[in-house]
Amino acid sequence: MSSARFRFYAELNDFLPNESRTKEVVRRFDVGGSVKDFVESFGVPHTEVDLVLANGSPVDFSYQVRDGDFVSVYPVFESLDIASVSRVRPAPLRVLRFLLDVHLGRLAAYLRMAGSDALYGNQASDGDLAAVVI
């Protein structure tokens, strides 16, 4: 039976069971698969992943996990441009924008204080919000 070691970083640990968070996890397997399949088998959505390293080298989601591999999985980087090394996301996320419903006024204020772009109007209907393009 083959095995590979996985380590998930930062908020990706939120998807893991408590006993697997913030530490190396060994996954045993008889049939190999892509790193994307392995990542999702842990319960981590691949859309939350920005960088995957296999044995210290960047790989894309199609990389076939082999016996003895050490796979490091990193979340989306918001303030650091890793486009030159990331092979799983074509372009890094740059601008976070929030569109908030009428009952989220306090959250809108907090987001604005934190420097985020937050569009809020306490008179906006669902149709108004659906028509907004941000």
pLDDT digits (tens, 9 = 90+) for 66-92: 999 999 999 987 666 666 666 676 665
Q: What is d(CA 116, CA 96) in angstroms, rounded to the nearest whole number?
A: 7
Q: Quick check: is 125 in a domain? A: yes
Same domain as 106, residue 70: no
**Closest C-alpha to 53, from 118, 120, 4, 14:** 4
Q: Quick check: is 83 in a domain? A: no
Q: What is d(CA 93, CA 102) in angstroms, rounded to the nearest whole number?
A: 26
What is the domain extent for residue 112?
97-131
Q: Quick check: is 17 in a domain? A: yes
Q: Quick check: is 8 in a domain? A: yes
Q: What does residue 42 show for φ and ψ, rounded to 5 degrees?
A: -80, -10
Q: b/e map of 38-48 (b: 16 or more CB within 10 Å)?
A: bbbebebebeb
Q: How many structural domains is the chain composed of?
A: 2
Same domain as 105, residue 71: no
pTM: 0.64
Which two three-digit tokens encode residue 19?
């006993």
Same domain as 120, residue 55: no
pLDDT digits (tens, 9 = 90+) for 15-70: 999 999 999 999 999 999 999 999 999 999 998 898 999 999 999 999 999 999 99
